[in-house]
Amino acid sequence: MLAIFHKAFAHPPEELNSPASHSGSRRPKLPQETLQDFLSHHPHNTYSVNFGHAAALAYVRPETPLSHHQRLFCGFDDMYCVFMGSLNNLNSLNRQYGLSKGGNESMLVIEAYRTLRDRGPYPADQVVKDLEGSFAFVVYDSKSGTVFAALGSDGGVKLYWGIAADGSVVISDNLEVIKAGCAKSFAPFPTGFMFHSEGGLMSFEHPMNKIRAMPRIDSEGVLCGANFKVDVYTRVNSIPRVGSEADWTQWDSH
| Residue 28, domain CATH | 3.60.20.10
Confidence class of residue 220 from pLDDT cuts 50, 70 and 90?
confident
Please give the model's pTM, rounded to 2 decimal places: 0.89
Is the residue at 246 inside a domain?
A: no
Is the residue at 41 inside a domain?
A: yes
pLDDT value of position 240: 46
The helix or strand, by DSSP H or E, that contains position 25, with its residue range, turns out to be none
Is the residue at 247 inside a domain?
A: no
CA distance 119 to 36: 38
| Residues 236 and 210 sit within 8 Å (Cβ to Cβ) | yes
Is the residue at 254 inside a domain?
A: no
Neighbour tally for 179: CB within 10 Å: 16
| Residues 143 and 76 sit within 8 Å (Cβ to Cβ) | no
pLDDT value of position 171: 98
Evaluate if residue 238 carries a pLDDT over 90.
no
pLDDT in tens, 40-99: 988 888 999 999 999 999 998 876 554 567 899 999 999 999 999 999 999 999 999 999
Q: What percent of the chain has pLDDT over 70?
A: 89
Question: Total structural domains in the chain?
Answer: 1
Residue with the larger pLDDT of the pair 253 and 13: 13
Q: Domain range spanning residue 127?
A: 2-235
Is the residue at 79 inside a domain?
A: yes
Q: From edge to edge, which strands make up the β-sheet containing 186-188?
A: 46-51, 55-60, 2-5, 169-172, 160-163, 186-188
pLDDT value of position 68: 62
| Residues 212 and 202 sit within 8 Å (Cβ to Cβ) | no
Q: Which residue type sits at 248?
A: W
The helix or strand, by DSSP H or E, that contains position 180, with its residue range, turns out to be helix 175-182
Is the residue at 39 inside a domain?
A: yes
The helix or strand, by DSSP H or E, that contains position 173, with its residue range, turns out to be none
Is the residue at 243 inside a domain?
A: no
